[in-house]
Structure 1
Amino acid sequence: MTIGEALPGVTLTFVPRGSQEEPLRTDVAAFLGRTRRGPLGVPVRGESWNDVVGTFGQPDGSSATPYALRGFFENGGRTAWVIRVSGPAETASAQWLQYQVIASSPGAWANGGRVAIRFQASTLAGPPTVSVRVTVPGEPAETFAGIPPSEVVTRLATSRLIRLVPVEQAPPPAPARRDERPRPGGPPISTLAEGSDSSGAISRSWDLILAGGSDVAPGQAEYSAAVQAQADLPEPALVALPDLGADLTGETRGELARELMLTALTSLDRLVVLDVPPDKSSVDEAVKWTESLGDKKLLSTAAAYHPALEVPGTPGARTVPASGHVLGVIARLDAERGAHHTPANAVILEAVDLAVEFPEPQQVRLFEAGINLVRCTRGRGLLVWGGRTLSNGFIAHRRLVHLLVRAIRRVAGPLVFDVNSPELRLTLVRALTSVLLAAFRAGALAGSRAEQAFRVTCDESNNPPEQDPGQVVCEIEVAPAAPMEFIRLRLVLGQDRDLEVIEA
């Protein structure tokens, strides 16, 4: 990705390392929320905090998502998808010649930004050039020097901050009289390059001010679109909405959370991490809110962490939901020990305190309701304390299922158009057995022998002769390492409905 020009003739180009998607990973997160700038509703993949800042800008205190993202990467997260959520915001702009200089994305962030443009006509030293310098409050300045006039639009397309677009359907200029003053917009770039500027100047400068940008808080429709966008991504295995509690209120907030959990229940390959809304200040209100989100099956797809954290900000500390930092801890432990490891009793970095300290009886109440605590302990600092879903199941079990489902899809997907036969069933059993053996050797499954850890059944007992030959059924039983509770998955391979994985 070309960032811009720091010096005349020097272009800084960065090629992201290892940027290919890896659907089998279970440490990749998706964040849905508000940011300072960036494309609206479009999933953007980042592999570092610098990637996020380059696309979405620095945290400016207007939303929690940027701080959550910073907490994710500071706590060991390696890859995050970001979907910026906003209402119908306006884009800041300014007029230049026959072009519109517009901010690279909607929002008020670019208001007051200055775009200094200098045209240098042909001289003995060389052909005509255009130089542009962009300064926006809160953003690093950008300089594009020595651009041929015919390449200005293309070169500014690499800017993080602005774009240059022709004014559509602009009326043709009327013939100028000798006593008529030049049009405020001035001549087009091509005319300047030909040296026909009526002023006869060798060089000419413009100082433009961007204005007209506005921010609009997202509603349920915008969040629903973001939920669907993340559901269409095969890579994320962790999902958070740090600004949901502040952006939506009442029943719409619960409806959106249920919509997100339903996508996780359908895909069976990702964990939703929710934050208790800031207006649910008491323990009873927090418990009542989480219990209202759905039945036990739906709640098994999500975990909640409470209370919020105090993180460094400018100026002073800022209160942000814990989900981003917790996702970073989960991702870190995933890389160190595997998806089957319980994300508990682990240190949280890039946070200085808890937003509120609950007395022990209230902590017990939260724990019994399936809300995981973030605690401050003497000598260790802030810790993730608890690893259960909102249904009081184990997060480690859910994430083991997510890993297995992703692996099963990878090995079974290419076989979806094969006709049911003993050869196909044997191929499927061998492929699934290799996946489960890998999990067993990694310590994710119980038992001293593989036979005690898992069982794959794909024969005439669940594929009788009278069954549709275009469909194959395979049943998988898995015993997690601890505690000893079997997980049952049912794999249906059908030519007419693709690959389906069902949790029994």
Structure 2
Amino acid sequence: MSISTPYPGVYVTEVPSGNRTVTGVATSITAFVGTARRGPLDTPVRIGSFTDFERAFGGLVRSSGLGYAVRDFYLNGGGPAYVVRVARQGDADPTHDAAAAQLVVGDVTLEAHGPGEWANDLVGVVTHPATADAADIGAAQGVDPDDLFTLTLSLGEETEVYRNVTVGDGPARLANLLESSRLVRQASASSTSAPGEDTYTVATGDEGTDGAAVEPDDYTDDGRGFHALDTVDLVNIVVLPPPTPSGSLHDSVWPLAAQYAASRRAFLVVDPKPGQTVEGFAAWADGLGVTGEVARNAAVYFPRVRHADPLRGGQVDTFAPGGAVAGVYARTDAARGVWKAPAGLEAGLTGVVALESTLTNDQNGQLNPAGYNALRTFRDAGSVVWGARTLRGADVLSDDYKYVPVRRLALFLEESLYRGTQWVVFEPNDEPLWSQIRLGVGAFMQDLFRRGAFQGTSARDAFFVRCDGETTSQYDIDRGVVNIQVGFAPLKPAEFVIVSIQQKTAAAR
């Protein structure tokens, strides 16, 4: 930076340090994709608690496994999450598709915010302000006083009131205000006049329908199902609860979901089918089709879990384990870090009273070498996650990403470095840039080393960061390429603890 020096004296200026920090991304933002009673369709909705889920999607219903999975997630320590509701759409027979209820209020058609029968009892009440009040309000808003009205929407105990609104343009335009409604959106309006004072209900023929049972394409089509998550900035864990608590997802969905998770640097939790034996589960998992490198981004857990069902007076029923396992992931990340295996005696499944089947050590020994994770019950610890292998974790594969924490740590590093080096684009590609990269990335890796993310007694043993004339040749520079090499020594979980006992004789010293 040049400084103008018009007179003799001392000039002071501030010079930027040039240090660019890399910040670690979140590790346990979980996406749930499944059926729900209500809510927007194929639209990610961010939630922070089960109460948020109840507000947006109607809570638990016996016809859907989604609510139970979200509930288990928060019982086990879950945090920020996104929920995508799916329903039958695009069927050859349109009567099979889910449809939204419509409420006609004068010349305005309001459509329920999401398809389903949930809005069929919707009621809208229109009232007009007093003439004197309307004149003052109309003058303040710059609209015709005759166009003002108040709309009260009611559905059960839910009530929304929109006061002194207009159908036409204005500061209190109804269509704009309804964008924040949990009940309806404005579908159309044939005039800008205020509707007449009256009570309006959903007419026969305008009712919403839940549609037929969901099909695989409701999860896998572009822009729908888990592809709706394309609009979400960051997702770490993907859970696909079964369409019904006692059902299971169609097998063809899992390989596509694993591919999608890999493309987003996310991790997929796979649920087993209900009622499987150990042998039946192993045969099913072998033929699931989640293979190759994408299998590094997925893990399956067996068996299903049993816990009280609030909708059945606390009776114990069987549910998919994915939501509870994702909650254990989030809890472990918060307490220990993403490099700690979400398994062991401290990985207890909160709220779970039993498992669908009790595994013996020998049965566990059949699953673990094949890369399948067991849920076990121990007398003092209760039900716990007792496995930490990815679907590439079979012993015969000898994959670098055999273990869940190693893979999730690598995904964390990739995403953090991807975001933390965006500033490099269009910078002069020479040693000053390379030095800044080494400094920023090295400081990030050093911090993780101090927190116990890598093995090794020194930073030299734990990781390396290379960006210099050796990694980036003149040919690379001419093509506008800068190469950064980052290596790390992961901590692998101790699966087998071998204790050797030797008898000491009295004469031995």
TM-score normalised to structure 1 length:
0.76
What residue number does 1:410 align with?
419
5+ unaligned residues in a row in structure 2: which ranges?
Answer: 1-22, 90-97, 136-147, 394-401, 495-509
Does the 8 Å contact 1:219/1:248 carry over to 2?
no
Written as runs of structure 1 = structure 2, the 5 A alignment for 1:377-456 is: 377-392=378-393, 393-456=402-465
Deviation per CA, 1:364-418: give whole Å up to 9, x if none: 2222322212222223322111111122211111111122112211222211333
Distance 1:436 1:125, change over 3 A: closer
Deviation per CA, 1:45-89: give whole Å up to 9, x if none: 112222222211111111111111111122111100112122222
> Shift of the alpha carbon at 1:33?
1.4
CA distance in 1, matches of 2:303, 2:131: 66
Mapped pair 1:93 → 2:102: yes
Does the 8 Å contact 1:71/1:325 carry over to 2?
yes
CA distance in 1, matches of 2:233, 2:200: 47
| Corresponding letter in the other structure for 1:441 | R
Mapped pair 1:83 → 2:84: yes
| Corresponding letter in the other structure for 1:352 | V
| Corresponding letter in the other structure for 1:465 | Q
What residue number does 1:190 align with?
194
What residue number does 1:3 align with?
none
Does the 8 Å contact 1:217/1:247 carry over to 2?
no
Larger fraction in strand? 1
Written as runs of structure 1 = structure 2, the 5 A alignment for 1:23-38 is: 24-38=25-39
CA distance in 2, matches of 1:300, 1:125: 66
Query: The residue matched to 1:472 in structure 2 has which SS?
Result: coil
What residue number does 1:297 align with?
293
Does the 8 Å contact 1:72/1:325 carry over to 2?
yes
Deviation per CA, 1:248-295: give whole Å up to 9, x if none: 53xxx23x322222233344x3211111133x7232232223223243
What residue number does 1:258 align with?
255
Pick from 268, 282, 285 the counterpart of residue 277 of structure 2: 282
Distance 1:420 1:123, change over 3 A: closer
CA distance in 1, matches of 2:166, 2:28: 46
Mapped pair 1:480 → 2:484: no
> Shift of the alpha carbon at 1:325?
0.9
Deviation per CA, 1:467-493: give whole Å up to 9, x if none: 453112222221123469xxxxxxxxx
> Shift of the alpha carbon at 1:148?
5.1
Written as runs of structure 1 = structure 2, the 5 A alignment for 1:168-179 is: none
> Which is worse superposed, 48-57 or 330-339?
48-57
> Shift of the alpha carbon at 1:118?
4.8
Distance 1:320 1:466, change over 3 A: same
Percent of paired sites with the same residue: 28
> Which is worse superposed, 99-108 or 396-405?
99-108
What residue number does 2:184 align with?
162
Query: The residue matched to 1:190 in structure 2 has which SS?
Result: coil
Pick from 206, 209, 212 the counterpart of residue 213 of structure 1: 209
Pick from 292, 311, 314 the counterpart of residue 314 of structure 1: 311
Does the 8 Å contact 2:118/2:208 carry over to 1?
no
| Corresponding letter in the other structure for 1:141 | E
What residue number does 1:117 align with?
125
TM-score normalised to structure 2 length:
0.75
| Corresponding letter in the other structure for 1:242 | P
CA distance in 2, matches of 1:416, 1:339: 29
| Corresponding letter in the other structure for 2:389 | R
CA distance in 1, matches of 2:477, 2:379: 63
Query: The residue matched to 2:421 in structure 1 has which SS?
Result: helix
5+ unaligned residues in a row in structure 1: which ranges?
Answer: 1-21, 171-187, 193-202, 485-504
CA distance in 1, matches of 2:189, 2:132: 33
CA distance in 2, matches of 1:474, 1:149: 58
What residue number does 1:197 align with?
none
CA distance in 2, matches of 1:40, 1:354: 33
Does the 8 Å contact 2:29/2:237 carry over to 1?
yes
CA distance in 2, matches of 1:244, 1:320: 11
CA distance in 2, matches of 1:440, 1:358: 37
Q: RMSD of the TM alignment (CA)?
A: 2.9
CA distance in 2, matches of 1:244, 1:60: 11
Distance 1:145 1:430, change over 3 A: closer
Deviation per CA, 1:428-456: give whole Å up to 9, x if none: 22221111101101101112211111112
CA distance in 2, matches of 1:403, 1:191: 55
| Corresponding letter in the other structure for 2:240 | L
Does the 8 Å contact 1:116/1:208 carry over to 2?
no
CA distance in 1, matches of 2:67, 2:84: 11
What residue number does 1:340 align with?
339
